[in-house]
């Protein structure tokens, strides 16, 4: 409530506004004169009521804020949770480590995805001439980024898998070579598994 030289301004809409007493031309003087008598007077002014309070009230017993007055709310981050408090309580919260404004939580990391590295090893000890790239391999049972079928590599091809569960690695048959698979070429894949499969081709004796 704004205060004007000992006069409090109260908005009014639905009550009659008393007329200014005769001979009163200075509202401030009128307010002060009435204060000296300890009375309360109301004066209409542009839809407002000017109420002069007693000197005792203004000097030592100012009116208490009404409901909702002096209770502006602010948002803070309190122990990782966004809450709303009264503004007068803000300094105490800040002293205890809270911060003004809402909490900002970093986005959750994406779930871990399994990987499978497939190494193609070729043994040419009986006149064979094939190399790793001549063999085509396929991962079965799960889905791999970039496709499940690829050319062999002695250095290995690492695939990130987007689904979990049972898997196996196979290759297209190549005449003149027999194939063996390491234990990592089949099994079950969990969310953070990293497996290595070695597919070995050895040329057959003539």
pLDDT in tens, 154-201: 999 999 999 999 999 999 999 999 999 999 999 999 988 999 999 999
138-166 mean pLDDT = 96
Phi and psi, residue 132, nearest 5°: -55, -40
Could you read off the pLDDT of 21-53 as tens digits, one per residue? 555 444 444 444 443 333 344 444 444 444 443
Q: Does any domain span residue 110?
A: no
For the chain, the helix, strand and coil percentages under 3-state DSSP, each to the nearest 5? 15, 40, 45
Please give the tally of structural domains in the chain.
3
- The region of weakest confidence among 10-24, 79-93, 98-112 is 10-24
What local confidence, expressed as pLDDT, does residue 164 receive? 92
The Cβ of residue 135 has, within 10 Å, a number of other Cβ atoms equal to 21
| Residues 122 and 178 placed together within one structural domain of the fold | yes
What local confidence, expressed as pLDDT, does residue 70 receive? 53
Per-residue pLDDT at 118 exceeds 50: yes
| Residues 187 and 127 placed together within one structural domain of the fold | yes
- Measured CA to CA, the distance from residue 189 to residue 166 in angstroms comes to 6
| Residues 193 and 125 placed together within one structural domain of the fold | yes
Q: Does any domain span residue 109?
A: no
Per-residue pLDDT at 63 exceeds 60: no
What local confidence, expressed as pLDDT, does residue 54 receive? 40
Q: Does any domain span residue 191?
A: yes
- Residues whose CB is less than 8 angstroms from the CB of residue 195 and which lie 6 or more positions away in sequence, other chains included: 114, 115, 116, 117, 184, 187, 189
Q: Is the pTM of this model over 0.75?
A: no
For residue 22, the enclosing domain spans 3-60
What local confidence, expressed as pLDDT, does residue 38 receive? 37
Q: Does any domain span residue 14?
A: yes
| Residues 119 and 195 placed together within one structural domain of the fold | yes
């Amino acid at each position: 409530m704004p205060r004007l030289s000992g006069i409090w301004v109260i908005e009014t809409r639905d009550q009659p506004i008393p007329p200014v007493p005769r001979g009163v031309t200075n509202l401030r003087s009128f307010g002060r004169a009435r204060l000296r008598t300890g009375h309360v007077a109301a004066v209409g002014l542009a839809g407002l009521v000017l109420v002069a309070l007693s000197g005792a009230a203004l000097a030592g017993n100012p009116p208490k804020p009404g409901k909702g007055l002096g209770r502006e709310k602010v948002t803070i981050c309190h122990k990782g949770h966004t809450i709303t408090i009264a503004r007068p309580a803000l300094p105490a919260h800040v002293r205890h480590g809270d911060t003004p404004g809402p909490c900002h939580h970093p986005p959750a990391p994406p779930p871990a995805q399994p990987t499978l590295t497939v190494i193609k090893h070729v043994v040419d000890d009986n006149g064979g001439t094939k190399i790793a790239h001549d063999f085509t391999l396929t991962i079965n049972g799960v889905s791999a980024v970039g496709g499940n079928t690829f050319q062999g590599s002695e250095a290995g091809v690492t695939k990130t898998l987007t689904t979990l569960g049972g898997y196996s690695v196979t290759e297209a048959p190549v005449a003149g070579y027999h194939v063996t698979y390491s234990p990592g070429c089949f099994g079950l894949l969990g969310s953070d598994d990293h497996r290595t499969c070695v597919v070995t081709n050895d040329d057959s004796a003539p």
